[in-house]
Structure 1
């Protein structure tokens, strides 16, 4: 695409947001970041990227950024993402993920910005009756995290119906890995992602890895998930942005995954292979609300946007996650 866009990236100091910043830069666009640094890291933002420490619900600050930076589109990643915490503290999730996003959307519309990409989740489906999961299947979230994201999808849909505005909501499956060039990665302390936990264990940061449930209706009895490399996910956002500009009358809600999955034990075997270390596995009971298998039907994003993943390989995802984990302590400094 020839046009260089000024794009506000909310939550751009976080895991996926920082990779989206890199993808925008790599594609020749100009990202601008707002992040309150509650879970993000200032150093995770690519050097030279304009950065504002603040909250997306601060409408005066957001309006100032829009005007000063000439923002033409928004990629929205800011929010809370821990499912068990959402069950324990639902009001936090409805505040951070729903109420603050309502404020952000209002700021977007007031500024006449016409394009927005939203970081949604496969948790909007709840426990689907079939896998792979299609976008036209019922959305029946089983936790406040999934519900808070679905409510944002509804807001975007309703706003697009009455304003000169279009959006793309990308429903992520299990995001993993790190920037192949080592520029960013999953840095959250106490992260709940399996591959992150497993590489921490391989490097001696954890004694073992918990395997929750060995009696699922899967090949080896452990839960199967669709793991997508964070760099492929970030690239999908850039492609989605360019699609919104090319056809400003059309909005999209699309799955973002590889269309196939790996079991918990297969993931741990991959970490064993890559590191040449045998991880200690603690076999425990199921966690409430974990489906046997959660795999995306990704035909929509491939056919509409021509998205072509580059890193659809479990060992590659693990290698990149491991390389990042090795340098993370230095970066935290």
Structure 2
């Protein structure tokens, strides 16, 4: 079992991942600034293997103290998404880029890192051609640019795994309503319609619980997987926005969606992704898009507000 330091562990990904790590018997320390006032890990407080620190990942004196005794570091802390980074470019650079690179410098060679990156780094793909881990990264947004630069530092650490995450969806103790699938399902439940722009743009998707599954798989198979990037997505879900809406409509027949000749994706995401490298290691997703939509509908029965967005 490992001593694991998780930065930003009270966020969307961490609210699923931290309990799973604890359930597997690991000791987990979470550092988070709780900027969204979330209490997503309250149910972990009775576990003696759980520790929590309120702090900022930009505080390197704090981070160096927390790194002492850590076998594994999972850096989830970030301002996530192109709109949030555009709204706060200083925060984006200091948290998403500088703090991450400084963290890599502070690690000892034997400390392991499992890092989430975004596959939005592929930018605009070629029609009909899958993006693999060998495809050149061409990020467009500030968020994507920083993530690609951080990935280089992570892989230079030489004791690390980079997971290039598809667009994440699904319910979690700390929800995210501003992610594409989650947003469209919310609109389908409460507004019953959505106006699409660039509806033909394709991207890949992955359930938030399968993200945890990928990290757990990487932890278990670290020696055979290390020092490489891996795409993490549903091979069955390289879909356009229009096709995504068609999936949602199967579960909410009153949902109406129309095309509009205006607006643009700040990431300009338009690509299809191959997840074969990760699948070849024995990992397989457990939650498809239909399952995620059904779970979101249940969640939105309990939740009707917009406090769970990053922007």
Smaller-chain TM-score bracket: 0.7 to 0.9
Residue 230 (structure 2) aligns with: 254
Residue 212 (structure 1) aligns with: 197
Could you tell me how far 1:315 is from its partner in structure 2? 1.3
Contact kept, 8 Å, 1:254 with 1:300, in 2: the verdict is yes
Residue 76 (structure 2) aligns with: 77
Task: Choose which of 213, 220, 227 in structure 2 pairs with 1:235.
Answer: 213
> Per-residue displacement from partner, 1:44-64 (whole Å, max 9, x unpaired)?
454223211111122232233
Could you tell me how far 1:81 is from its partner in structure 2? 1.6
In structure 2, C-alpha distance between the alignment counterparts of 1:45 and 1:283, rounded to whole Å? 43
SS at match of 2:40: helix
Task: Choose which of 276, 287, 296 in structure 2 pairs with 1:321.
Answer: 296
In structure 1, C-alpha distance between the alignment counterparts of 2:259 and 2:224, rounded to whole Å? 50
SS at match of 2:78: coil
Q: TM-score, normalised by structure 2?
A: 0.85
Give structure 2 stretches of 5+ with no counterpart: none
Residue 170 (structure 2) aligns with: 177
Equivalenced residue count is 300
Deviation larger for 57-66 or 192-201: 57-66
CA change 1:309–1:199 in 2 (3 A) is same
> Per-residue displacement from partner, 1:218-259 (whole Å, max 9, x unpaired)?
xxxx22221111111111011112222x359x4121111122
In structure 1, C-alpha distance between the alignment counterparts of 2:154 and 2:267, rounded to whole Å? 28
Residue 115 (structure 1) aligns with: 112
Q: 1:1-333, aligned counterparts within 5 Å?
A: 4-39=1-36, 41-44=38-41, 46-48=43-45, 49-67=50-68, 70-87=69-86, 89-109=88-108, 114-129=111-126, 131-160=129-158, 166-178=159-171, 184-185=172-173, 187-188=175-176, 191-204=177-190, 206=191, 208-214=193-199, 222-244=200-222, 246-247=223-224, 250-260=226-236, 261-279=238-256, 281=258, 283-287=260-264, 293-303=270-280, 305-311=281-287, 313-328=288-303
SS at match of 2:130: coil
In structure 2, C-alpha distance between the alignment counterparts of 1:50 and 1:145, rounded to whole Å? 29
In structure 1, C-alpha distance between the alignment counterparts of 2:79 and 2:269, rounded to whole Å? 25
RMSD: 2.6
CA change 1:258–1:43 in 2 (3 A) is closer
Deviation larger for 139-148 or 16-25: 16-25
Contact kept, 8 Å, 2:198 with 2:264, in 1: the verdict is yes
Q: TM-score, normalised by structure 1?
A: 0.80
SS at match of 1:151: helix
Give structure 1 stretches of 5+ with no counterpart: 161-165, 179-183, 215-221
CA change 1:317–1:72 in 2 (3 A) is same
SS at match of 2:92: helix
